[in-house]
Amino acid sequence: SLTKICRLMLTGLKSLVRKATSIFASPKAQTYPIIIPRSDHSLSRQNLSPNAVKVLYRLNKAGFDAYLVGGCIRDHLIGVDAKDFDVVTNATPEEIHDLFSNSRLIGRRFRLVHVTFGREIIEVSTFRAPSAQEDSASKPQESLKGKDSARSAHGIVLRDNVYGSIEEDAERRDFTFNALYYNVQDFSIHDYCGGLEDIANKKIRIIGDARQRYQEDPVRMLRAIRFAGKLGFDIDEETAAPIKEMAHLLDHIPPARLFEEVLKLLGSGNGIKTFHLLRQYGLFKYLFPDTEALLVSGWKRDDLNPEAFILQGLENTDKRLQTGKTTAPYFLYAVMLWPSVVLRHEEFQSQGMPATPALHQAASMVLDNQVASTAIPRRFSTPMREIWDMQFRLPKRYGKRAFVLLDHPRFRAAFDFLLIRELSGTELGGLGAWWESFQFANENEQRELIKSIDLRANDKEGPKKRRPRRRKKSNAPQRETPEE
């Protein structure tokens, strides 16, 4: 239709004007971008998601500039499999949305479009201009700078929807290796900030002034650590220097965002390295405050060495991920918080609370404290509680109990958890090996295994003794009457 043709001509013109102005406006135009032609790099269309390529072509055909950017280009050049494909363009979110019937506008802090192809989502966003620097110290209240960009009292960027040129877009990305753009029209890579050289030198380098960039978005500190753990790169000196003293800014990040970041940090397949780096840079404390306090205190028990246990849990997860297996995110969270649960459990019991309610109380307390730092959705906290609960049920195998436990939906996770406890030095009298045999035995063998349990070794195990019923005193607070 005529209006469509007009619109296409107009957007074509707009992009031409944008290109022209950006060439004249940027003094760095002579040196950047460095353009690497197809013949000089290893990235080919075969390495890319066909859906991402489709999105690029469609945008180009409509007269827009469009590039692949970020993790997919970086990871490919490093030799890691890319997991998602991000497209960036000079089309606005509304224009993108109009072009793709299979798309949705999302985000508030950062508006973008999701184009869906079955299970694959291609994220398409518009070139952003760096958000204007503001003197945050003189403005104690949230300062709103128009409705498209805003900062909090701490200088954290709350909204970032000012559109710009590709040069500006490159400048507001976090690290140099994340500002590489792939142009599907001539298969070239455009490097705006020296990312290729940094990849060659295995360096993580923030774009611009590190302090200012962490102030705008403290999560960038976590991202630096994440890439160091995942890629085995070194963090450039100037990029690393302010992290320790600025770590506290993470206190101002919404717990839900930190939760997502923790899953990526510890679920990269390099959890041990990442854990050490997080602690070394003073960031771990803002993600797991109770766990950090416990590790620093040096608290230990004969049957639990917190650090050894956590490292064992991370090693197990790393191995699984490195061999292509999956892990449940709640499992790692259950590992990270277990030492705190054990400590609180002990405290509640020493106040006279019976073992089971004390455990539930301990779990609630630890989870309540934790969600102030990193939100934990209920679909994660419920299985975490079950894993912890099962640690006290797995020793009790008498009668039909072992069969009931085996059918529990969380059996496998709880069993893996138990093995990690044993591997980290907790003496459980061969409990892990017993369950290992029990799972794979036939019914007769299973009965033999139950008979073989040495009741004397664990006298809590035997057939249920009848206990005189406690009379409920309606007014007396229950928890002050110890059970036995």
**One-letter amino acid identity for 140?**
P
Residue 173's binding partner out of ligand ATP, Mg ion, none, with CB under 5 to 8 Å set by partner kind? ligand ATP
Residue choice 113, 219, 247, 266 for contact with ligand ATP (CB under 6 A): 219
Residue 220's binding partner out of ligand ATP, Mg ion, none, with CB under 5 to 8 Å set by partner kind? ligand ATP
Query: Which residues between 66 and 85 bind Mg ion (CB under 5 A)?
Result: 71, 84
CA angle at residue 37 from 31 to 38, to 5 degrees? 155
**What are the distances in angstroms from CA 207 to CA 13, 193, 211?**
31, 7, 11
Residues 35, 190 contacting (CB under 8 angstroms): yes
The helix/strand/coil state of 117 is: strand
Question: Which listed residue (65, 75, 86, 198) is catalytic?
Answer: 86
Residues 192, 167 contacting (CB under 8 angstroms): yes
CA angle at residue 304 from 299 to 310, to 5 degrees? 90
Rounded-to-integer distance, Cα 192 and Cα 435, Å: 57
Q: Does 260 help bind Mg ion (rule: CB under 5 A)?
A: no
Pull the structure tokens for residue 421: 């406890």
> Is 174 part of the annotated catalytic residue set?
yes
Site string for ligand ATP, 17-46 (x = CB under 6 A): ------------------------------
φ/ψ bin of 116: left (φ > 0), alpha (ψ from -120 to 50), beta (otherwise): beta
Q: Which is nearer to Mg ion, 225 or 376 (CB)?
A: 225
Instruction: State in angstroms the smallest separation of the CB of 66 from Mg ion.
Output: 16
> Is 290 part of the annotated catalytic residue set?
no
Q: Which stretch binds ligand ATP (CB under 6 A): 215-223, 254-262, 401-409, 437-445?
A: 215-223
- Beta partners for residue 183, in sequence order: 188
Q: Which is nearer to ligand ATP, 232 or 430 (CB)?
A: 232
Residues 419, 432 contacting (CB under 8 angstroms): yes
Instruction: State in angstroms the smallest separation of the CB of 204 from ligand ATP.
Output: 11
Q: Does 107 help bind ligand ATP (rule: CB under 6 A)?
A: no
- Beta partners for residue 149, in sequence order: 145, 160
Name the residue with the smallest CB distance to ligand ATP: 71
Q: Which stretch binds ligand ATP (CB under 6 A): 19-27, 46-54, 212-220, 411-419?
A: 212-220
Residue choice 111, 159, 220, 345 for contact with ligand ATP (CB under 6 A): 220
Q: Does 289 help bind Mg ion (rule: CB under 5 A)?
A: no
Q: Which is nearer to ligand ATP, 70 or 164 (CB)?
A: 70
Rounded-to-integer distance, Cα 266 and Cα 279, Å: 13
Instruction: State in angstroms the smallest separation of the CB of 226 from ligand ATP.
Output: 7
Exposed e or buried b per residue across 141-173, where buried means at least 16 C-beta atoms within 10 angstroms of its C-beta: eebeeeeebbbeeebbbebbbbbbbbbbbbbbb
Residue 225 burial class via C-beta count within 10 angstroms: exposed 0-12, middle 13-18, buried 19 and up: buried
Query: Which residues between 51 and 70 bind ligand ATP (CB under 6 A)?
Result: 70
**One-letter amino acid identity for 355?**
A
Q: Does 84 help bind ligand ATP (rule: CB under 6 A)?
A: yes
Q: Which is nearer to ligand ATP, 181 or 338 (CB)?
A: 181
Q: Which is nearer to ligand ATP, 222 or 363 (CB)?
A: 222
HEC letters along 175-206: EHHHCEEEECCCCEEEECCCHHHHHHCCEECE
Q: Which stretch binds ligand ATP (CB under 6 A): 38-46, 213-221, 319-327, 460-468?
A: 213-221
Rounded-to-integer distance, Cα 317 and Cα 374, Å: 20
Residue 178's binding partner out of ligand ATP, Mg ion, none, with CB under 5 to 8 Å set by partner kind? ligand ATP
> Is 86 part of the annotated catalytic residue set?
yes
Rounded-to-integer distance, Cα 372 and Cα 251, Å: 9
Residues within the interface to ligand ATP (CB under 6 A): 70-71, 84, 86, 173-174, 178, 217, 219-220, 264
Indicate which residues carry an active-site annotation. Answer: 84, 86, 174
Residues within the interface to Mg ion (CB under 5 A): 71, 84
